[in-house]
Amino acid sequence: MATTILKPGDLAPEFIGKDQDGKTIKLSDFKGKKLILYFYPKDNTSGCTAEACSLRDGYDDLQSLGMEVVGVSPDSEKSHQNFIHKYNLPFRLIADVDHAIAEKYRAWGEKKMYGKAYFGILRTTYVINENGTITNVFNKVDTKEHVKQILSEINK
């Protein structure tokens, strides 16, 4: 696992995954569009739900700026289907069960909880421009106010 952090100005790594409906989704599908690619640990947990709902509630604002949203977690397609349905999420979620995409984006790493170390998703959001270049990186995500956090940063 690489330890180099992706940063603004880097070319976003190509990815290929399956969304909640088993449809292939890849970075090149978004060529010519802006993409918010966000990595989160687990469907239906408090922080992840707050983050997804923030992105849902601000989705129209993001779309008005030409941005698409795609979430990535190690959950299954079925789990993603339930999460989308339960919270009426208007964007696609990738089932990165082998965490290959998270590793490419340096969003998989060591975490600690209750003094125990384990590997998991490092909550991270990337804003990728029309040419596939990363313009913004959020690794200190305010889950409840994530859209405001993104809009504030991209409007600087």
Asked if 25 contacts 18 with a C-beta cutoff of 8 angstroms, the reply is: yes
Length of the chain, please? 156
Query: What residues have CB less than 8 Å from 29, skipping those under 6 apart?
Result: none
Q: Is there a catalytic annotation at residue 48?
A: yes
Question: Out of 48, 52, 72, 95, which one is annotated catalytic?
Answer: 48
| Residue 101: φ, ψ to 5° | -70, -45
Closest CA to 11 of 101, 128, 136, 93: 128
Q: Which residues are catalytic?
A: 48
